[in-house]
Amino acid sequence: MLQTAEAPWSQAETQSAHALFRKAYERELDGLLATVQAQASQITKIDDLWKLHDFLSAKRHEIDGKYDDRQSVIVFVFAQLLKEGLVEAEELAFLAPDKQSKIKALARL
């Protein structure tokens, strides 16, 4: 079960959290795909191609590190996703109010 320092996560919260993680991941990849398509259509020289490659390498590293659902960091990950607009506050309704409050507070930092 997923846990914060304060309270364990129920099985329903855990399942819903994983579903929301997947949804946020798909949203981020959809946005990345649109960005890459726009940038690729503007490539006119080899330097543009290498810049796109560098951008993609950095994004891959960022995304691979962001979607960490370990129990010890899940609240922080949701706060980051909320801050970035990849998750909406309303989508956290499956969580207990204290967990929602903590995530929202962290997202404001």
| Per-residue pLDDT tens digits for 85-106 | 999 999 999 999 999 999 999 9
Report whether pLDDT(3) > 80: no
pTM above 0.85, yes or no: yes
Query: For 4-57, how does the pLDDT look when each residue is reduced to its tens digit (9 = 90+)?
Result: 456 788 999 999 999 999 999 999 999 999 999 999 999 999 999 999 999 999
Q: What is the mean pLDDT of residues 60-76?
A: 92
Fill in the amino acid letter for 64: D
Assigned domain for 27 exists = yes
Enclosing domain of residue 71: 11-108
Q: What is the mean pLDDT of residues 55-76?
A: 93
Q: Between the CA of residue 54 and those of 29, 49, 51, 57, 60, what are the distances in Å?
A: 17, 9, 5, 5, 10
Task: Indicate the number of domains in the chain.
Answer: 1
Assigned domain for 2 exists = no
The whole-angstrom separation of Cα 71 and Cα 49 is: 39
73-102 core/surface letters (b: 16 or more CB in 10 A; e: else): ebbebbbbbbeeebbeeebbebbeeebbeb
Fill in the amino acid letter for 96: A
pLDDT at 4: 44
77 forms bridges with which residues in the sheet?
A: none
Assigned domain for 4 exists = no
